[in-house]
Amino acid sequence: MKFSLVSFVSGLLFGFGLMISGLANPDKVLGFLDLAGLWDPSLALVMAGAIGVGLFGFMVAKKRTVTVFGGPLRLPTATQIDKRLVLGSLAFGVGWGLAGFCPGPALVGLGAGEIKALVFTASMVAGMAIFELFERGWFAPGKAAS
């Protein structure tokens, strides 16, 4: 039970942080991404702070073998930059630049009842489903979907 409560509180804090920082506001995000127009650099400070917190968190986590609640601690092990990573990053960036949302802020917007967030989230879920179908080989050449 306490694990679920910690997860809930962590998600709530993350959502509040997204709202306070402006990352849940697609207009602010698009202003940050518009380097050729009226660029709004304020989100750069938010991102720098997030990187600092993340670096500290990973430094602490690398010294541990279990989570705070005793579960196994599984850190990412991949070190290669491959085609999948580059294409996924490009897809993420294009989606972020077109909509002004990425997954976390889209869920905050969805909770706030924003129609743009609903469209983005539905598109994101559809994209994940299509990716999963490709991963399972449903669209492999010469294979009929069953």
Q: pLDDT tens for the chain, 146 residues: list them.
A: 566 888 889 889 988 888 888 888 999 999 998 889 888 888 888 889 989 999 999 999 999 989 887 888 888 888 999 998 999 999 999 988 999 999 999 999 998 899 999 999 999 999 999 989 988 888 766 655 55
Q: How far apart are CA 2 and CA 18, in angstroms?
A: 24
Handedness of CA 2, 62, 88, 79 (dihedral sign): negative
Give me the pLDDT at residue 117, please.
Answer: 93
Handedness of CA 4, 7, 8, 9 (dihedral sign): positive
If you ran DSSP here, which 8-state letter would residue 72 be given?
A: B
Structure tokens at 100: 């002004």
Helices (H) and strands (E) in the chain, counts: 6, 0
SS3 101: coil
Predicted structure pTM score: 0.73
Domain ranges of the chain: 1-138
Phi, psi values for residue 128, rounded to 5°: -65, -40
